[in-house]
Amino acid sequence: MSLSEDTLHEILARLPHDRAELLPALDEVNSRLGYLSRPAIESIARHLRLPVREVYGAATFYSMWNVSAAPVEVVHLCDDGPCHAMGAAAVRRALDQAGVEVKRTSCIGQCGCGPVVMADGRLYRNVTSRTVQAVLSGKEPEPLPLADEVIGIEVEDRAHALLQNVGQINPQSLDEAVKAGAYQALRKALTTMTPEQVVSEITTAGAQGRGGAGFPAGLKMRFTAAGAKSTGGQAYVVCNADESEPATFKDRILIGGDPHRLLDAMAIAGYAIGAREGYIYIRGEYVEQAELLKHSIEQAEKAGYLGHTIMGTGFDFHIHLHRGAGAYICGEETALIESLEGKRGEPRLRPPYPTTNGVNGRATLVNNVETLYNLPGIITHGAAWYRQYGAEKAPGTKLYPVSGHVKRTGCLEAPLGKFTLRQVIEGPCGGMRDGAPFKACHLGGAAGAMVGPGFLDVPLEFGACMAAGAMLGAGDIVALDANTCVVDYLRAVAAFFRAESCGKCTPCRVGTERQIQIMTDLSSGRGTLQQLDEIISWSELMTDSSFCGLGQTASTAVVSGLKLFREEFEAHVRGECPARVCRL
Ligand SMILES: Cc1cc2nc3c(=O)[nH]c(=O)nc-3n(C[C@H](O)[C@H](O)[C@H](O)COP(=O)(O)O)c2cc1C
Ligand code: SF4
Ligand code: FES
């Protein structure tokens, strides 16, 4: 396929000569042409008045784009932890045998239904070596309604649940969203509260960030509001919907089932910190969710819930949608801001933090999708109401995306600390599949730790998990049964970090490469005992001296797995795979 000069001209003519338009321009050309040709890159550079090398730098940074024509028939297979645990390697062998070009892709946010294959623009879930032929013949994939991905809302009063409307309302309908309560909280905030009162209510509620670090949401708002005052009053709200960490798929469910609640929350946050503009940065693979959000923003603007003088109050708030293009690092808040500004998504040095120096150098509040979904409830019902659920030091409910070897995978919502891992597995998940005993759990996403049976009775709450030696992170649970080879599983985790390291700093760039080399050696019978020590020393180096959180946590899973299952690693050095998974 070739893109004519005229078409290219037509695409570029619609875009202002603004650097922030670089990613949208590259995305459109890539989707129309199938790749980013040299002449297209040069035209974009001319239009945006950027050096060609910068455009080329961005074009090669994001995995959803190609700079050379891709083979006609490529099948994309996810082989990150949860999909690998569910048999992605066997699917790969079947695809190879069928003579198809297979491209590994990082997680695409469907981890409860792995292995996942993308072919010809279609998404196939729960693929096995037996169903590969159906994929190759272009058979329409089975739909999976969002409601079926919710495995439980364990909250007595449904009004407290973040998932309260998912599967209950038509997400395309503003009327249904409004009947279910959308924009009531925003109206209350704008008509009865000062911005300081909004910040104060959220601080008293004790809501913590759900993006992984659990940072107090009210405190971050306070810092950003102060940052906005010190930088001339301009500020931004950024919703982090990048959700690219293997095992995480909760934000997709919230957005897909109840998009207006996110817009309601962002406008409340904007009012609180003095921002008039907000951005939703959504991962490029979430095409349907991005379209839904675009539609919802248009609806809300038309109805006066967003835009100029919202509900006649004089408060203006505009939301812009920005799509990523395949890079896990863009979930890191400073890399996300770089990407929003039209650059390669490489993290910035912190401090200064986004609360004072974020988008365009202005104060910026970056919050995770799930964090924001907490705001309307707090504003409508008050902090005391919010604190009725959850733990004393970790109030509210939490979404737990569950994948791996349980009978029912999907997203669970429960008050923080109410459930232990055992209760999640035995309750909403219906137990381990095929009666195989539990062996381990990878908790908190790819960057989280491996935990063993000794962790089964720890309450799933930030502090309790940390005290027991693992971070709850975004709440992800990958349950692994006794047939799992820990070395093989962790090789897939190491491959993810090697693929996603942005390469800006040496400890992470080299460390993630060395980590995957060692894990590959171990899982193919070439490993040595010295390499087990090397894993630890590389981990110390990466943790202590990497530039950002990706490198600092890239070895957490491997090292915790080595500590818990050292005898299994040593067996591999002797040429034995106790689970008989690795071909040694
Ligand atoms: C490598 C990396 C990837 C991240 N990915 C995400 C992500 O996809 N979504 C998210 O909300 N936070 C992600 N974070 C955390 C963000 O940097 C940031 O802390 C978060 O968006 C703040 O929101 P919260 O306070 O509401 O939790 C990531 C951090 C790192 C280091
Ligand atoms: S730690 Fe890794 S991801 Fe982060 S800046 Fe360094 S190379 Fe990039
Ligand atoms: S979709 Fe495969 S790990 Fe998430």
Segment 213-264, tens digit of pLDDT:
899 999 999 999 999 998 777 899 999 999 999 999 999 999 999 999 999 9
Ligand nearest to the CA of 500: 2
pLDDT of the residue at 389? 94
pLDDT of the residue at 1? 46
Q: Say how many Å lie between the CA of residue 56 and the centre of ligand 3.
A: 29
Distance, CA of 35 to CA of 26 (rounded, Å): 9
3 state DSSP class of 117: strand
Residues 6+ apart with CB under 8 A from 530: none
Ligand nearest to the CA of 548: 2
Q: Buried b vs exposed e over 17-55: b needs ≥16 C-beta within 10 Å? A: eeebbbbbbbbbbbeebbbbbeebbebbbebbebeeebb
Give the DSSP per-residue string, 471-484: --TT--EEEEETT-
Residues 6+ apart with CB under 8 A from 525: 572, 575, 582, 584
Q: Supply 553's token pair.
A: 């946590």
pLDDT of the residue at 230? 86
Q: For the whole model, what pTM was predicted? A: 0.95
pLDDT of the residue at 3? 63
**Nearest ligand 2 atom, CA 542:** 1
Mapping DSSP onto H, E and C, the string for 165-176 reads CCCCCCCCCHHH
Residues 6+ apart with CB under 8 A from 394: 206, 208, 214, 416, 417, 461, 462, 463
Distance, CA of 297 to CA of 541 (rounded, Å): 45
Q: Buried b vs exposed e over 226-247: b needs ≥16 C-beta within 10 Å? A: ebbeeeeebbbbbbbbbbbbbb
Per DSSP, what are the bridge partners of residue 162? none
- Residues lining ligand 1, Cβ inside 6 A: 209-213, 215, 220, 240, 242-245, 328-329, 331-333, 366-368, 371, 548-550
3 state DSSP class of 401: strand
Best mutation site among 330, 333, 505, 515 for ligand 2 pocket (most ligand atoms within 8 Å of CB): 505
> What's the helix, strand, coil split of the chain in %, to 5?
50, 15, 40
Helix (H) or strand (E) holding 89: helix 88-97
Residues of the chain with pLDDT under 50: 1
pLDDT of the residue at 71? 59
Best mutation site among 103, 106, 110 for ligand 3 pocket (most ligand atoms within 8 Å of CB): 110
Q: Say how many Å lie between the CA of residue 333 and the centre of ligand 1.
A: 6
Q: Supply 122's token pair.
A: 């279609």
Ligand nearest to the CA of 113: 3
pLDDT of the residue at 64? 87
Q: Say how many Å lie between the CA of residue 2 and the centre of ligand 1.
A: 38
pLDDT of the residue at 176? 98
